[in-house]
A and B are shown apart, each in its own frame.
Chain A
Amino acid sequence: MDFSTTTLTDLRDGMRAGSVSSVQATQAMLDQIAAVDGDIKSYITVSGEIALQQAAVADQRRADGDDTPLLGVPIAVKDIIAVDGVQMTAGSKILEGFVPPYDAFVVQKLKEAGAVIIGKTNTDEFAMGSSTENSAYFTTRNPHDLSRVPGGSSGGSAAAVAGGMAFGSLGSDTGGSVRQPASFCGVVGLRPTYGRVSRWGVTAFASSLDQVGTFGRTVADTTAVFQTIAGYDRRDSTSLNRPVPNYEAALTGNIKGLRVGVPAEYFVEGMDEEVETAVRTAIAHLEKLGAERVEISLPHTRYALPVYYLIAPAEASANLARYDGIRYGPRRKGENMIDAVKKTRALFGDEVKRRIMLGTYALSAGYYDAYYGRALKARTLIKNDFLTAFEQVDVIATPTAPTTAFKIGAKTDDPLGMYLADVFTLSLNLSASCGLSVPCGTDSDGLPIGLQLIGNTLQEATILNAAYAYEQSLL
């Protein structure tokens, strides 16, 4: 079996048929990491020994007749998600050496499904960024072109899958941090509806926007991982207590009559022409498969970026107040406790401090109404744009990102320019929608382009099936 091209579903079939073992597949991932991750740098921590033990247990369980959904499948986990006994840095020096004493809900679910956890993948510090360049450890490189970023913040998880170093992975998406790196790395990335997946054990960034998502080489692979982590968890009070559909069974490839909305506001001047052409071609392709194209408007789109960059930093400034060196992480000495806390928090990187500053200002006395309060009201208009659109259509189709992967260093001195990399993804997080990115071709440099499909609340099955139909028709 050539593991570099094998999909998760092929591997699962192979293990069921007895033609390949989990130990073989896991060892192949570790060999691939040894061969290419020195250049790509997708993993912060590789837990190879634990992974091989889990693989051996999985093989034994299978021999004993067990067949849980991800039994023996090697999966990578973003390093803001807790795995019991394995260092979790959140891409920050302020958590260097931190070893979680428990598994996140999503990791519990992966383990219950029989998955093998290969390691922890690189991320922008506390998931704040669009390129992994804000990681305090190193920048991950795009497997398609090592001079370019993989996108972010879940760039390590996207690159690990694109580079053949995992059969699927977990990321998190607060403003596009699963979909944008999926687009840049040429893989599939799903951002479920807020509340569909529990964040218990996931490092909080912006609590009203954060959601765990999944990556795969194919739509079916992405769906298989999502299927295992979706569900209610009372330890996350935003978790939705709603039945989990059989998403894998929903992948029929039939999209006849599906109403696909195309919002004018997402095809703006200044966007990469090759991206626009590829996305328009993909939408025409959906029509050939039986979908009906509907021109729509999401009129408040131009306010999404400023709303996001007031709300997310405000929530981050509160969430990150807990990093004071007292309960976890390195601690610096000071003249007194406050001084010690300040010296410890100097371990935060520039972008994290920038967002804490911005958020603290937006929440401070005298400015709360002008900034945070207005942003919450404008958020209502953006959310309503989507609800109105979904009265007319089943799916909204847009580019995932305005460009393909940019060069490492191209935007590091321009925070606002970096924020614009998420301009097509972050509206969704402000709303009650779900979304995914599926590859839809390459530009003249061979860099992947992503088609974003957005669905209404808890309509993951609809967008996954639309993406599946598109992907299968290209084979």
Chain B
Amino acid sequence: MTLLTMQDVEKIADLARLELSEAEKEMYLGQLTAVLEYADRLNELDLDGVPPTAHAISQQNVMRDDVIEPSLPTAAALQNSAWHTDDQFAIQTVL
């Protein structure tokens, strides 16, 4: 298995939208490496041809009729937002 590097940690943190201090990066580098080394135990298994299990009990194509039903009122949907205006969630500029 590829060993985790500090660059990996920084890349993962950025993908996950996490801002980490230098001390946190060091801590996670060590801890994630330990967990991934533990996970290398799976290499003992011959998994060729074994189908994956995504859910314990699989149900496919769970559909409902395409009927409009009552949903949360706008005021209730917005009530927990720190910043909203004109019945919409507001955000800072994207760029």
Chain B contacts with A in 1-40, Cβ cutoff 8 A: 1-2, 4, 8-9, 11-13, 15-20, 24, 27-28, 31-32, 34-36, 38-40
Given A101-B77, A327-B81, A357-B12, are A376 and B57 neighbors across the interface (CB < 8 Å)?
Answer: no
Q: How large is the interface on A (under 10, 10 to 19, 20 to 34, 35 or more residues)?
A: 35 or more
Chain A contacts with B in 378-430, Cβ cutoff 8 A: 378-381, 383, 415-416, 419, 429-430
Which one, A7-15, A110-118, A125-133, A358-366, is touching chain B?
A358-366
> In the complex the two chains form, what is the Cα distance from A357 to B35 in whole Å?
12
Specify which chain A residues have a CB less than 8 angstroms from the CB of B28 in the assembled complex.
353-354, 357
A430 touches B56 (CB 8 A): yes
> In the complex the two chains form, what is the Cα distance from A99 to B17 in whole Å?
25
Specify which chain B residues have a CB less than 8 angstroms from the CB of A416 in the assembled complex.
31, 34-35, 38
B72 touches A457 (CB 8 A): no
> In the complex the two chains form, what is the Cα distance from A305 to B40 in whole Å?
11
> In the complex the two chains form, what is the Cα distance from A341 to B82 in whole Å?
13
A327 touches B89 (CB 8 A): yes
B54 touches A342 (CB 8 A): no
- Cross-interface CB contact of A354 among B32, B38, B77, cutoff 8 Å: B32
Distance from A134 Cβ to chain B, minimum over Cβ atoms (Å): 14
- Cross-interface CB contact of B91 among A326, A373, A379, cutoff 8 Å: A326
A357 touches B17 (CB 8 A): no
A354 touches B31 (CB 8 A): yes
Nearest A residue (CB) for B62: A237
> In the complex the two chains form, what is the Cα distance from A78 to B13 in whole Å?
30
Nearest A residue (CB) for B19: A342
B16 touches A356 (CB 8 A): yes
Distance from B21 Cβ to chain A, minimum over Cβ atoms (Å): 9
Question: A343-381 vs B: 1/0 string, CB under 8 Å?
Answer: 101101010011011101100100100110111111111
> In the complex the two chains form, what is the Cα distance from A109 to B62 in whole Å?
23
By secondary structure, the B interface counts as: loop
> In the complex the two chains form, what is the Cα distance from A294 to B17 in whole Å?
51
A376 touches B52 (CB 8 A): yes
- Cross-interface CB contact of B47 among A302, A324, A378, cutoff 8 Å: A378
CB of B93 within 8 Å of the partner chain: yes
- The winner among A340, A357, A364, A419 for most chain B CB atoms within 10 A is A357
- Cross-interface CB contact of B39 among A310, A337, A348, cutoff 8 Å: A310
B72 touches A101 (CB 8 A): yes
- The winner among B20, B47, B95 for most chain A CB atoms within 10 A is B47
Specify which chain B residues have a CB less than 8 angstroms from the CB of A432 in the assembled complex.
56-57
Distance from A331 Cβ to chain B, minimum over Cβ atoms (Å): 4
Can you list 27 A-B contacts with CB-CB less than 8 angstroms, sorted by A residue number?
A97-B80, A194-B56, A195-B56, A195-B57, A208-B55, A303-B42, A303-B45, A309-B35, A328-B80, A334-B92, A336-B94, A343-B19, A348-B18, A353-B18, A357-B13, A357-B18, A364-B15, A370-B1, A373-B52, A374-B45, A376-B52, A377-B47, A378-B42, A381-B50, A416-B34, A416-B38, A430-B53
Interface residues of B (CB under 8 A from A): 1-2, 4, 8-9, 11-13, 15-20, 24, 27-28, 31-32, 34-36, 38-42, 44-45, 47, 50-57, 59, 62, 64, 72, 76-77, 79-83, 89, 91-95
Q: Which 5 pairs of residues, A with B, have the shortest CB-CB distance?
A: A376-B52, A328-B80, A331-B82, A101-B76, A237-B62
